Structure 1
Amino acid sequence: MLKKITSSELVLGLYVERLARSWLATPFWTRSFLLESPADLERIRTARHCEVYDAITSNRPYKKGWCPAESLRRMAAWRGGHLDARLFAAFVKCLGIYPLGTLVRLQSERLAVVVGQAAGKTLTSPTVRVFFSIRAGTCIAPCVIDLAAPGCQERVVSTESAERWGLLDVDRYWAGEPAVA
């Protein structure tokens, strides 16, 4: 009889009848196999983090996706149980503390959306597109700021909720479209 198990229960030497995931860029998901390679085991476990992140950030008919920063906070709480702590740390290093699309408040009392994370730079200083003045309560001409640039005095003070500010579609802002409130 077949038994469903989680990726954390996979071990070398296990015969896998089927992986119920479409994200594996291997022929594994189309046929059964004997799990013999430590590299394959690592890839399966690593892909789990991507699958979870995709599931909780995506809008579904039955629930609205969580914002990227909130998703990472919740995933951090699942380390050691649902998610592997070492692989989660590597996952966050790839995404950054403020993943693409995260709405942030800057110390200058403006809102911005994260549009990039430079490799090798601090995870707390992403590149952002500023588009909203909190003081004026309105959209402003967008500008891109690299918070990790030498001499940049701007910094992120918090993540924000788009609903709180009446912003219709934050995704369009990081894609470069004009801001609409």
Structure 2
Amino acid sequence: MEVPPRRPGPDADAPRAAIRPVLPRPARSAEARLAAELAYQRHVTLELQRAILPLHEEPFELPGLRSVVRYLPASRASRVGGDWYITAEMPGGNVLLAIGDVAGHGLAAAAGMARLRGALAGLAFTGAPPGRLVGWLNDLVRHVAPEHTASVMTGYFDPATRILTWAQAGHPPPVLVRHGWARPLPQP
């Protein structure tokens, strides 16, 4: 602890109240470098997440759907993590919808999220049904990224029939919102 020296003046005899912890100069320098490195890593991780997971400020239109995306982290410290979604019009006119989560926070979870999100986006172009897509993602996690635990719900929305064909693995089901009421969809 360090007690600052008394300064001449009218308060010279007042008790010294300002006591602060002091580290040796090399330790303070290392602490400052570590803080700067952590701040840089957090910045890079946030930028990576923004690049691979676009967030829309306003509702956006897809064939037959009005979509809204909200990312509400549990805390400010957990803004970077494994949560992801996909909304994309497919060549046949259906809309691919997916939401998932890779357990954890930070760069490892964001990297796992990017891997699964990218894999699903590519695999969906095969036209395989949602159950098969989920199976392929499970194989990917088991064989390529066994360090990750993940969940997913994915499906195709057909704007002509207004039917969602979907599958899930560990993720809650989609919620249908109509006329102010919300209810989870029954299992496929």
Greater share of helix residues, 1 or 2? 2
Give the structure-1-normalised TM-score. 0.31
Give the structure-2-normalised TM-score. 0.30
Greater CA radius of gyration, 1 or 2?
A: 2
